[in-house]
Structure 1
Amino acid sequence: MDPSVAIALGLLLCISCLLLISSWKKGFGRGKLPPGPVPLPIIGNILQLDLKNIPESLCRLAKEYGPVFTLQLGVECVVVLHGYQAVKEALIDHGDKFADRAHKPLFELSSKGLGIIASNGERWKQIRRFSLMTLRNFGMGKKSIEERVQEEAKYLVEELKKTKGLPCDPTFVLECAPCNVVCSIIFQKHFEYKDQKFLCLLNLLNENIRISSSPWIREKQQPQSEFTIENLVSTGVDLFGAATETTSTTLRYGLLLLLKHPEITGKIHEEIDRVIGQNRTPCVEDRNKMPYTNAVVHEIQRYIDLVPTNLPHAVSEDVQFRQYLIPKGTTIIPLLSSVLHDDEEFPNPYKFDPGHFLDKSGKFKKSDYFMPFSAGKRMCVGESLARMELFLFFTTILQNFTLKSLIDPKDIDTSPIASGFIKIPSFYELCFLPYKNM
Structure 2
Amino acid sequence: MKTAPLLALTALVALCGCAASDDSACIVNPLNAGSTGLTSLRVGVPASFEVSAVQTLSCNDTAASQRPDSVSAEVFDPDNHLLPSEVSLTVNGMSAFVRFTPRTSGRHHVLVAFAPVGSVQQLGVYVARDWSGSPTATTLPLPRCTQLDRTTRGTWLCDGVALHEGGRTQRLGTSTLAPDVAVAGNVVWVVGSEGRVRRFVDNGTELELTGSLLLSIGASVSTIQSRLASERELWVLDSQRLHRFTFSDTGVLATAGTPPVWPSGGERSLGTDSASGLLVRTAPNRVRVVRVINWPNSEACPFQLGPDGAFAATDEPCLPLPGQPVGFEEGVVWTRVGEPFQAAGQTLRRWVVSGDTLVEQGSLVLDGQIEGVFSPLRAGFIVPDIRLGSFSVLPVVSPEQGPLGLELLPGNPQLGTELRLASPRFYWEGDNRLNNASTVVYERSAG
Q: TM-score, normalised by structure 2?
A: 0.25
Larger radius of gyration: 2
More strand by share: 2
Which structure is higher in RCO with an 8 Å CA cutoff and minimum separation 6? Answer: 1
More helix by share: 1
